[in-house]
Amino acid sequence: MYHAILDAKAVALLLGPLCLLLAAFFVHPLLLVAWTSVGSGRLGFDAYASLAKSTLFLRVLANTFEISALATLVSLVLGYVIALHIAHASPRRRTLYLVMIMLPFWTSILVKSFAFMVVLGDQGLVNRALASLSNGAVHLEMIFNRAGVVIGMVNYLLPFMVLPILASLLAQDPTLHKAAEIMGAGPIRIFMRITLPLSSPGVQAGVLMNMTLAMGMYITPALLGGRRDMMLANLVDFYTRQTLDWNAASAIAIVLLVISGVFIALLARAGGTRNVLEQAHA
């Protein structure tokens, strides 16, 4: 009993500063935002009612879902192919590939967005290469539009798709594939009947994680997108700095928080993925 009390005190001493930090810099500001969204001289939901009738908000909300879903879909296709290739690599190469997958985490998203402006711009590296190869006949508009936003978002989201899918692929029993080959199944049938269904937990986790992160993107749409590519986070910035409508900005922030919370809850229920680093070195 005495040791249990000491352990409880030790846990309280260790977690106390962290809880105070979270309360001061996360919970308290979040409560202020929630109060601002419902309190404008009197308690009410006028800000939410105005948003429901706002054409701008509804259009931006639709843009947010469309861009997030498109970036997630592209990340899923590319991420599954990459994860499948890494899963069949040797342990040494797998480690090297994982380091390369983690490289985007080592660079600020702001720096990467500016880099994409240089690479994808009208006089960027890609268009210069296309112009030299086609004698000036090919020119692509890849920034200040949806294509630029999706490219920038996929660059950021791809590792969050590859890692859970890779974990599911590495967790599969290789004898299942050998048994299917012995029974005459071809590579496509093995993939469709064994590999893909067994990797569905990783796919679900990757999709939900990508959607959660994509919904709150701000820098990439602001730098690489156009007027029609505004997302909810950008709309919060607009109401905060341009129109100074703090109630509307707070209401949008709460709506975004609720949507993200739904995806996080679904992600927690999905489960089924293992630690990718442990699987990578298995």
In a domain, 90, yes or no: yes
In a domain, 38, yes or no: no
Q: For residues 27 and 50, state if they share a domain.
A: no
Residue 146 tokens read as 């949806």
| Backbone phi, psi, residue 136, to 5° | 80, 5
Cβ neighbours for 250, distance < 8 A, ≥ 6 positions apart: 33, 34, 36, 37, 47
Q: For residues 23 and 67, state if they share a domain.
A: no
Q: Which of 39-43, 129-133, 181-185, 218-222 has the lowest mean pLDDT?
A: 39-43
Q: For residues 87 and 183, state if they share a domain.
A: yes
Q: For residues 113 and 11, state if they share a domain.
A: no
Sign of the dihedral defined by the CA atoms of residues 188, 190, 191, 192, in that order = positive
Give Cα 87 to chain centroid, integer Å.
22
Residue 119 tokens read as 């690479």
Q: For residues 8 and 105, state if they share a domain.
A: no
The predicted-structure confidence for 108-153, as pLDDT tens digits, reads as follows 888 888 888 888 888 888 888 888 888 877 888 888 899 999 999 9
Residue with tokens 């599969």: 172
Whether the Cβ atoms of residue 67 and residue 231 lie closer than 8 Å to each other: yes
Q: For residues 157 and 98, state if they share a domain.
A: yes
In a domain, 201, yes or no: yes
Per-residue confidence at 169, pLDDT binned at 50, 70, 90? very high
Q: For residues 51 and 168, state if they share a domain.
A: yes
Average pLDDT, the chain: 85
For residue 8, what are the domain limits? Answer: 1-32
The predicted-structure confidence for 228-275, as pLDDT tens digits, reads as follows 899 999 999 999 888 888 889 999 999 999 999 888 888 877 654 444
